[in-house]
Amino acid sequence: MIFTLTFASCQQKKNLDEIDKQVESLLGRMTIQEKIGQLVQKNGDHPNLDELIRNGNIGSVLNQVDPDEVLRIQKIAVEESRLEIPLLIGRDVIHGFRTIFPIPLGQAASWNVDLVEQAARVAAIEATSQGVRWSFAPMIDVTRDPRWGRIAESFGEDHFLNGVFGAAIVRGFQDDDLSNPKSLAACTKHFAAYGWAEGGRDYNTANISDNDLYDIILPPFKMCIDAGAASIMTAFNEINGIPATGHVPLLRDLLRNEWGYNGVLLSDWESVTQMVVHGYTPNHKESASKAMQATVDMEMASTAYETYLLELIKEGAISEKLIDDAVKRILRLKFELGLFENPYAHMGDFPELLNDDHLKVAKKLAQESVVMLKNEGSLPISNKVKRIAVIGPLADAPHDQLGTWIFDGKKEDAITPLQSLREIAREKGIEIFYHRALELSRSINIQNKQGIIRDVNRSDLVLLFLGEESILSGESHCLANIDLQGGQIELAEVVATAGKPVVAIIMAGRPVTFEAIEPILDAILYAWHPGTMAGPALADLLFGKVSPSGKLPVTFPWHVGQIPIYYNHKNTGKPASNETWERLHDIPAEAPQLSIGNTSHYLDYGFEPMYHFGYGLSYSTFEISDIKIQRNQLQVDDVLKVSVKLKNTGNRKAAEVVQLYTRQLFGSRTRPVKELRAFEKVLLAPGEEKEVVFQINTRALGFHNPDMKFVVEPGQYHLWVGNCSQSGVKLEFEIVK
């Protein structure tokens, strides 16, 4: 896939120049108190909301999605306040508004950038129809720790994948023109290193090296900025001792000065005043000063700005120019959104929520997000199957299938797997035996165990729905143990005793571990939390109407103790291999303790994950062949052109994700063993063949050297093209001076 920067047309430049003139004119009429008011964001249930709006003391309101109430408060702003400045109405539109799509981690598993962009467009249309014009998404926090609850909101462990999908969300939200009433301003978050939290505990300290910060954490933000992201949100965490919301080197020096970003910079919820709790500032006044010096334009929820900025200006602690610059950025966004010309845009012509077109996109994305991890022949379900036991707490859990952060989704809209399976069963003359078995995914006691065994014994196939409730992942919902919770392992073992084929469908907000039952499962579909259309999507996959095509955006460990485990690790001086793995049970009594020949691994779990990044099976088979590099010697800024042939060698129409990885063999810093550089998802009919061509500027292979300069170094490189991070034919090329 090729990503290029786009530049504003002459007409766009003219419009921006006109907006800047309007901003300057309005700024010149504002009192200092009105300026500070634009930097304040309040929740929609604030008790003095009307008065604050009327007096020009609020610039933005969040979490108000009643269109009549949005209309009412917007009328106060533009008809009753002195300067008639409209409000920015914000909301967490994370993976859909009313039509709920798979969680972002599931969307990343689709490896379908265009489809994810379509889903974001649907979400934008639905949200703006209710008066929301600002979404606090996408979240592009790279993380290597599935214990972290917010991995559900991330696009996984790879910075390139996070950047690609983050940029797709930005484009989908904002469309081609922010002034379109159906355009939603994106807010890329969290700047920065929020997913690097110690121990996978939310809000925790991020201790991170400069090269990891600059080469892994920050690139996705730059990709979103290049896609036009209207705003950025700071992070809760501290980075190497400095809270992100007051991090002058990161926000002012890098984001503003080096990158030239002039969009709105928003704090996270109360992250300004939390600098006191971190132990970075002695009081909220100093927190306001630190955040403003770091060029944070708007404070979410807390009150440091409105309480102390005027006092700080009078004391000379901060300059009024800092305030003016922040106000300009906020006003510019309001003008770009067309709020001054049409503050009541949501009263216009919008399609209804949850319409058929929207549901069609939701179903397709749910289908493509599912990753088939195992299949020993039980899938797709054969016509010979006449009785199916559907068992498990997530087969009919309409709320939980929606996943985390679904403020505006409704469980009444969700179609569950059980509903869809029963519909297909009626058409095919199949008998369904259903047992919830566990009240919740974390419940311990299995209900009606004898009845379950009876119905499994008289079935041809078992569909076992496992996973975790939506509340077990998401913000602040972190786990030290990521095994299947409650009595699910026991349930699987009970079901398997009958000897019938068992297909597990796992619905979760993170990778879960299930080593204990993997051998007794005939097939495994990893469905994440698939959203509103989970039922129809999974039913089509199970019965073979479509083939699974998802690939893992994150590495799955065998055991929580292997974390962090990720594909783009360093080699170390003693890399492990199957030959060097000293297995725990093979060590004799009183064995001598030697260092010679030792390698980096665990005695009990070795060095390999359960499932590798990029892995996923299909109902068809594919052949990747004829891999060619156009030129084996390149210079900086040359294009690395790689072609490959992909053939569907099976008997089903199916899609495969062709993945390209590179490795720099040596450098001024040690380099990862492999890095994802490009991918393309290709749908092929049986026997069909297609040439896939990748073109990558060698500048994309660069990194920050020990002097923290971005460099593309000459030397030897390896390249792989395959369908997983651990597959592919290896080729070589060289970058020369």
Please indicate, yes or no, if residue 266 is contained in any of the structural domains: no
| 482 and 393 part of one domain | yes
Please indicate, yes or no, if residue 712 is contained in any of the structural domains: yes
Please indicate, yes or no, if residue 611 is contained in any of the structural domains: no
Query: What pLDDT digit, counting tens, does each position of 538-597 carry?
Result: 999 999 999 999 999 999 999 999 999 999 999 999 999 999 999 999 999 999 998 888
Query: What pLDDT digit, counting tens, does each position of 82-107 carry?
Result: 999 999 999 999 999 999 999 999 99
Q: Which of the listed residues 484, 514, 542 is the one where a domain comes to its end?
A: 542
Is a pLDDT exceeding 90 seen at residue 318?
A: yes
| 731 and 638 part of one domain | yes
Is a pLDDT exceeding 70 seen at residue 1?
A: no
Please indicate, yes or no, if residue 444 is contained in any of the structural domains: yes
* Region 312-329 average pLDDT: 98
| 395 and 523 part of one domain | yes
Distance CA 381, CA 272 (A): 54
Distance CA 49, CA 58 (A): 8
Helices (H) and strands (E) in the chain, counts: 19, 26
Query: What pLDDT digit, counting tens, does each position of 441-458 carry?
Result: 999 999 999 999 999 999
- pLDDT class of 8 with cuts at 50, 70, 90: very low
Q: What is the CATH number of the domain that holds 486?
A: 3.40.50.1700
| 372 and 484 part of one domain | yes
pLDDT computed for residue 193 by the predictor: 98
Number of neighbours of residue 288 by Cβ within 10 angstroms: 30
Please indicate, yes or no, if residue 152 is contained in any of the structural domains: no
| 389 and 524 part of one domain | yes
The full DSSP string for 45-83 is: T-TTHHHHHHTT--SEEES---HHHHHHHHHHHHHTSSS
pLDDT computed for residue 10 by the predictor: 39
Q: For a pLDDT cut of 90, what percent of the chain falls above it? A: 96
Distance CA 300, CA 270 (A): 6
The full DSSP string for 478-521 is: --S--BPPTTHHHHHHHHHTT---EEEEEE-SS--B-TTTGGG-
Q: What share of the chain is helix, strand, coil (3-state, %, to 5)?
A: 35, 20, 45
pLDDT computed for residue 11 by the predictor: 42
Instruction: Please tell me whether the peptide bond between 492 and the residue prior to it is cis, using omega within 30 degrees of 0.
Output: no
Query: What pLDDT digit, counting tens, does each position of 321-340 carry?
Result: 999 999 999 999 999 999 99
Q: What is the CATH number of the domain that holds 668?
A: 2.60.40.10
Q: For a pLDDT cut of 70, what percent of the chain falls above it? A: 98
Is a pLDDT exceeding 50 seen at residue 18?
A: yes
- pLDDT class of 16 with cuts at 50, 70, 90: confident
Is a pLDDT exceeding 80 seen at residue 14?
A: no
Please indicate, yes or no, if residue 676 is contained in any of the structural domains: yes
Q: Which of the listed residues 542, 561, 590 is the one where a domain comes to its end?
A: 542
| 429 and 533 part of one domain | yes
Phi-psi region of 428 (alpha: psi -120 to 50; beta: other; left: phi over 0): alpha
pLDDT computed for residue 5 by the predictor: 31
Q: Are 111 and 615 in contact (CB under 8 A)?
A: no
- The catalytically annotated residue of 145, 158, 175, 268 is 268
Q: Are 216 and 207 in contact (CB under 8 A)?
A: no
| 383 and 498 part of one domain | yes
pLDDT computed for residue 647 by the predictor: 98
Is a pLDDT exceeding 80 seen at residue 2?
A: no
| 629 and 505 part of one domain | no
| 494 and 636 part of one domain | no
pLDDT computed for residue 507 by the predictor: 98
Query: What pLDDT digit, counting tens, does each position of 340-386 carry?
Result: 999 999 999 999 999 999 999 999 999 999 999 999 999 999 999 99
Please indicate, yes or no, if residue 79 is contained in any of the structural domains: no
Distance CA 711, CA 729 (A): 27
Q: Phi and psi for 298 in degrees, rounded to 5?
A: -135, 140
Distance CA 367, CA 362 (A): 9
Distance CA 185, CA 21 (A): 21
Query: What pLDDT digit, counting tens, does each position of 208-242 carry?
Result: 999 999 999 999 999 999 999 999 999 999 999 99
The dihedral built from the CA positions of residue 334, 337, 342 and 344, taken in this order, carries a sign that is negative
* Residue 268 falls in the annotated catalytic set: yes
* Poorest-pLDDT segment among 3-7, 31-35, 553-557: 3-7
pLDDT computed for residue 596 by the predictor: 86
| Domain total in the chain | 2
Q: In what order do the strands lie in the sheet with 729-735?
A: 633-634, 729-735, 715-722, 654-664, 675-684
* Region 301-313 average pLDDT: 98
Query: What pLDDT digit, counting tens, does each position of 586-633 carry?
Result: 999 999 998 888 999 999 999 999 999 999 999 999 999 999 999 999
Q: Which of the listed residues 542, 570, 591 is the one where a domain comes to its end?
A: 542
Please indicate, yes or no, if residue 213 is contained in any of the structural domains: no
Q: Provide the pairing of β-strand 88-91 with 60-62.
A: parallel
Query: What pLDDT digit, counting tens, does each position of 51-88 carry?
Result: 999 999 999 999 999 999 999 999 999 999 999 999 99
For the chain, what is the mean pLDDT?
Answer: 96
pLDDT computed for residue 576 by the predictor: 94
Beta bridge partners of 675: 662
Is a pLDDT exceeding 50 seen at residue 6?
A: no
**Cα R_g (the chain), whole angstroms:** 27
- Expressed as residue numbers, the domain containing 379 is 360-542
The full DSSP string for 390-442 is: EESTTTT-TTGGG-S--TT--GGGPPPHHHHHHHHHHHHT-EEEEE--SSSTT
What does the block give as tokens for 144?
């290597």
- pLDDT class of 268 with cuts at 50, 70, 90: very high
Distance CA 667, CA 705 (A): 9
Number of neighbours of residue 597 by Cβ within 10 angstroms: 9
